[in-house]
Amino acid sequence: MTNAPVETVAFFGASGGVGLTALKDTLRSGRHCVALCRTPSKLAAILPPESNPNLKIVQGNSHDVTAVSSCLLAEPGVLVDKIVSTIGGAFIASKMTLDDPEVCQKGIAVLLEALTNLRNNGAVGKPHITVCSTTGLSKFGRDIPIAMIPLYHIMLKVPHADKIIMEERLVSSGEDFTIVRPSFMASEIETTKKVNVGIEDPIIGRESAAIGYTISKSDAGRWVAENLILQKHTKYSKKIAMITT
């Protein structure tokens, strides 16, 4: 009896926050991981190569199709098993915008272009794509507490508009995906709180609700790893998962 091949997971935006926690948990499972970083030394300082032989860090930008493509092959001609994108821009509070107001929509466009190019050159596989979005974007009813509405729809209008386009591009791509919408992430600290989950079908509508104020970035990353990487929960395939504590 032969052992099943070890999965390979590509990470974009894993130098901190949600992506870093998901990456750490994935590495602990023994899976192979590839992480694209603009500054590899930043991630290497957290996850030293000598202690993490299953981690390959690639230097590059998630808006560069060549750099992204270099992270998407588990072996020649075979795409990675899963992709996790948690990229985002730096919020400029004084202007209520991001340093790159189109960071997420450009990122998903490049990722989808890279997959198309690789397949056109003979690569096989259909990796599951997880992207990190935000609550407050639902078309099927309120998914945030009433008290959060001014913050979400006024202060965060620009980043939310970017994430809406990202979501729409992914939903229409024909790829297998899960869109994760965490509630407001005000902390990095991992907790032992239960993560509550609501599910929406982006076409049909809401299947269950989970409305809350906050979730830590580490708790969100742990949920992504446990439910979308380390296990295969088909109930989240081509769905939106709203998570909060």
Per DSSP, 184 falls in state B
Q: What CATH number does residue 153 fall under?
A: 3.40.50.720
Query: Per the domain annotation, does 41 fall within a domain?
Result: yes
Q: Minimum mean pLDDT among 89-98, 168-177, 191-200: which range? A: 89-98
27-86 confidence digits (pLDDT tens) = 999 999 999 999 999 999 999 999 999 999 999 999 999 999 999 999 999 999 999 999
Average pLDDT, the chain: 94
Quote the pTM value. 0.95
DSSP for 78-122, please give it: EE-SEEEE---PPEETTTTEESSTTHHHHHHHHHHHHHHHHHHTT
Query: Per the domain annotation, does 121 fall within a domain?
Result: yes
From CA 43, how far away is CA 203, in angstroms rounded? 37
Query: Per the domain annotation, does 3 fall within a domain?
Result: no
**Structural domain count of the chain:** 1
107-150 confidence digits (pLDDT tens) = 999 999 999 999 999 999 999 999 999 999 999 999 999 999 99
Query: Per the domain annotation, does 143 fall within a domain?
Result: yes
Burial of 3 (C-beta count, 10 Å sphere; 0-12/13-18/19+): exposed
Query: Per the domain annotation, does 1 fall within a domain?
Result: no
Q: In terms of residue numbers, what domain contains 83? A: 8-244
Query: Per the domain annotation, does 105 fall within a domain?
Result: yes
Query: Per the domain annotation, does 157 fall within a domain?
Result: yes
Q: Which of 121, 123, 133, 226 is nearest to 182 (CA)?
A: 133
Report whether 223 contacts 243 (CB < 8 A): yes
